[in-house]
Amino acid sequence: MSIKSLLPFGRTTDVTQGAASDPFTAMRRDMDRLFEDFSRGISLPAGFSGTGMLSPKVNVSETKKGLEITAELPGIDEKDIDVDLDDGILTLKAEHKAEKEEKDEKKHYHLVERSYGTYMRRFALPFEPDEDKIEAKFENGVLKIAIPRSAEAAKQAKKIAVKPA
């Protein structure tokens, strides 16, 4: 029986040749395959990006006046939200901190649960904003940001006619 007949569909024989010549590469490949098989079917919590940052659900809409951004930030306090604009990039950052403690002297248990996370999103603005008129309002876990265009950006673009050569 040939070794090729034992390989999963889509694999080539050079995989086995590399494994035979370098046992560390083979071990690494086997470990990667083990973790891939283990993690298959496991879904990340809603909003978790896999980078340690939480990614809030955001709606961005363009209006005649500028942009409107709405972000869902459940469980966040207003004091833990930072919105800043730097070099045409709007950054939305929020810290989520929760702690829950339960005690029962009769049943002899003490439980403390903590969860922490950072929400962060960045947006490259497609126009020059009027920085003095940007407004952010937070109510019931929803942050609404209104970003108006500057007076210069609000001017209409001039249409240039294309003539035949």
- Assess contact for 119 and 55: CB atoms under 8 A: yes
Q: What is the pLDDT of residue 151?
A: 81
Q: What is the pLDDT of residue 112?
A: 81
Q: What is the mean pLDDT of the chain?
A: 78
Q: How many CA atoms lie within 13 A of 133 on its CB side?
A: 12
Q: CA nearest 120: which of 53, 23, 70?
A: 53
Domain locations in the chain as residue ranges: 3-39, 53-154
Arch. (CATH architecture) of 53-154: Sandwich (2.60)
Section 87-93 average pLDDT: 91
pLDDT digits (tens, 9 = 90+) for 137-161: 999 999 999 999 888 765 666 778 8
Please state the pTM of the whole predicted model.
0.57
Distance (Å, whole) CA 7 – CA 158: 63
* Res 117 pLDDT > 90: no
Beta strand segments in 21-157, E: 53-54, 58-62, 66-72, 81-86, 89-104, 109-124, 135-139, 142-148
Instruction: Enter the DSSP assignment of 31.
Output: H
pLDDT digits (tens, 9 = 90+) for 33-62: 877 776 665 554 555 444 555 667 899 999
* Res 16 pLDDT > 70: no
